[in-house]
């Protein structure tokens, strides 16, 4: 009984989050979208399209495509880069996994010191995937309706993630798999025009389907969390449309999602509501320059600055020590990366890439590069160390420092910039974003295909049929 009372105490009895979420999805209009939300959302769309292409030939995605083809049914939507069409949930599983395959998709930002910066959700891929798949299934969904559905799902996902206590992530749940389900559901429900009880039932279905645990970080299953969030969100919307019932208040109450998975909610935040301030604008979103966990990014930039400014060659390095807090060292958990998936959660791997190549991109995050003798040897010169002073400063930003000991005599050291590259305070320029998209597409789309993808994404609001976006992911138009 004491456990039940503690859970209930974390979710106010008067919580109406499910009802308010449903009302928001049902009533929000294109005219309600702030211009800045549309601008940033278009950037997230372009980034996401590039990421779908980047993951299309990954082994994990090829396995999922083969599984989908073996079980194909109703031809709702394209199967990523193939000409084949499969049922919407199945197409979403593959597309969503591809978008997260390289861990290069954007990160939600929170300025609340109660949260651990960087440990919320990857907000774009679930609602973008649902919007892209449902636009094909429904047909003739114009660009404005597409962006409305995408940004509706984005807002619902981020607010739920922000309102939950950090216990959700720290207890081992992967927010992009759990909360991402609600983002995909809200986007799909908006496109389907769900209303009233159907909308609230869909939230209940999504709440029971939401899943993903952090033990699978560094494996193929981590990106599958996002693919399943996309699949399950669409499934929840389609079932609700048919009249499938669920608890109409599934976010709230002692046995609702907030209590059971979230460890409760911040009562003071529930009054923020949905769409009064748009999370994509304030506090914003980080578009990643590197295909790895965002918690590594400030440290990667610092390492790049140190070796570049001092012109340090790989053979000059005797050892590197990374000083950080548990907010970084626990999630970024591999001391030596044996493959490219582990490297995405390894500071020694990421910094070894910089030491050897002064780059940490798609080529460096490959098994061929990570498993090379040079990379394996360099990783063993790099160690992490818990810094009590950094730990004591809290987790509202990503703090770290590096000491590089040089062979012979001497060292260089520095602190990571808290205004990290890609974050809302230091965003990638549009030109840098386009360059990232081209690097995602390298070897998969030719120059003309890359041009079409970029040009079409920028003018998404003018499209008479947003379903054409899915065709841009293929080598042939």
Measured between alpha carbons, how far apart are the two ends of the chain, in Å? 61
294-415: CATH number: 3.30.1330.120
Residue 112 pLDDT: 83
Q: Is the pTM of this model over 0.85?
A: yes
The count of C-alpha atoms lying within 13 angstroms of the C-alpha of 234, restricted to the half-sphere facing its C-beta, is: 31
Residue 476 pLDDT: 55
Q: What is the mean pLDDT of each successive set of 10 residues along the chain, which is 477 residues long?
A: 42 87 98 98 98 97 97 94 95 98 94 79 97 98 98 98 89 94 98 97 98 94 98 98 97 92 86 95 96 94 97 97 95 94 96 97 96 98 97 91 94 92 94 97 95 98 98 79
Residue 5 pLDDT: 39
Write the DSSP assignment of 166-208 as a string of letters. Answer: THHHHTTB-HHHHHHHHHHHHHHHHHHT--HHHHHHHHHHHHH
Going from the C-alpha of 284 to that of each of 41, 197, 436, the distances in angstroms are 11, 32, 19
- Here the tokens at position 67 are 């599984």
Q: Do domains 2-287+453-471 and 294-415 have the same CATH topology?
A: no
Helix (H), strand (E) counts: the chain? 23, 8
Residue 418 pLDDT: 83
Going by C-alpha positions, the residue among 238, 263, 222, 270 that lies closest to residue 60 is 222
Query: φ, ψ for residue 184 (rounded to 5)?
Result: -65, -40
Domain spans, the chain? 2-287+453-471, 294-415
> Which CATH superfamily does the domain covering 2-287+453-471 fall into?
2-methylcitrate dehydratase PrpD (1.10.4100.10)
């Amino acid at each position: 009984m004491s456990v039940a009372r503690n859970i209930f105490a974390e979710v106010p009895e008067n919580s109406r989050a499910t009802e308010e979420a449903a009302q928001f999805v049902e009533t929000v209009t294109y005219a309600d979208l702030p211009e800045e939300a549309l601008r940033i959302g278009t950037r997230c769309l372009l980034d996401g399209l590039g990421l779908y292409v980047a993951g299309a030939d990954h082994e994990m995605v090829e396995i999922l495509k083969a599984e989908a083809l073996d079980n194909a049914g109703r031809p709702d939507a394209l199967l990523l880069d193939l000409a084949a069409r499969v049922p919407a949930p199945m197409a979403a599983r593959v597309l969503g996994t591809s978008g997260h395959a390289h861990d290069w998709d954007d990160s939600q930002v929170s300025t609340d010191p109660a949260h651990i910066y960087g440990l919320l959700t990857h907000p774009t891929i679930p609602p973008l995937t649902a919007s892209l798949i449902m636009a094909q299934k429904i047909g003739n969904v114009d660009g404005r309706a597409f962006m409305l559905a995408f940004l509706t799902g984005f807002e619902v996902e981020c607010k739920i993630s922000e309102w939950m206590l950090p216990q959700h992530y720290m207890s081992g749940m992967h927010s992009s798999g759990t909360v991402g389900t609600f983002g995909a559901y809200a986007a799909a429900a908006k496109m389907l025009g769900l209303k009233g009880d159907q909308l609230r039932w869909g939230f209940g279905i999504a709440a029971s389907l939401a899943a993903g645990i952090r033990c699978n970080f560094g494996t193929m299953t981590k990106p599958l969390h996002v693919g399943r969030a996309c699949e399950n969100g669409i499934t929840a919307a389609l079932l609700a449309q048919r009249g499938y019932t669920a608890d109409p208040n599934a976010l709230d109450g002692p046995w609702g999602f907030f209590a059971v998975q979230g460890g409760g909610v911040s009562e003071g935040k529930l009054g923020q509501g949905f769409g009064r301030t748009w999370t994509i604008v304030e506090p914003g979103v980080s578009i990643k320059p590197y295909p790895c966990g965002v918690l590594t990014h400030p440290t990667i930039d610092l390492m790049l600055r140190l070796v570049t400014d001092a012109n340090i060659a790989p053979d000059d390095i005797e050892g590197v020590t990374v000083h950080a807090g548990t907010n970084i060292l626990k999630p970024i958990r591999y001391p030596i990366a044996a493959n490219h998936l582990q490297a995405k959660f390894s500071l020694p791997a990421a910094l070894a890439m910089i030491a050897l190549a002064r780059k940490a991109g798609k080529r460096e995050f490959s098994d061929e590069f990570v498993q090379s003798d040079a990379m394996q040897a360099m990783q063993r010169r790099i160690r992490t160390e818990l810094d009590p002073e950094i730990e004591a400063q809290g987790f509202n930003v990503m703090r770290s420092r590096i000491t590089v000991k040089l062979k012979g005599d001497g060292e260089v050291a520095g602190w990571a910039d808290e205004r990290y590259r890609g974050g809302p305070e230091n965003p990638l320029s549009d030109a840098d974003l386009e360059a990232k998209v081209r690097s995602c597409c390298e070897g998969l789309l030719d120059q003309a295909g890359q041009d079409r993808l970029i040009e079409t994404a920028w003018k998404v609001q003018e499209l008479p049929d947003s379903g054409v976006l899915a065709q841009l992911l293929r080598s042939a138009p």
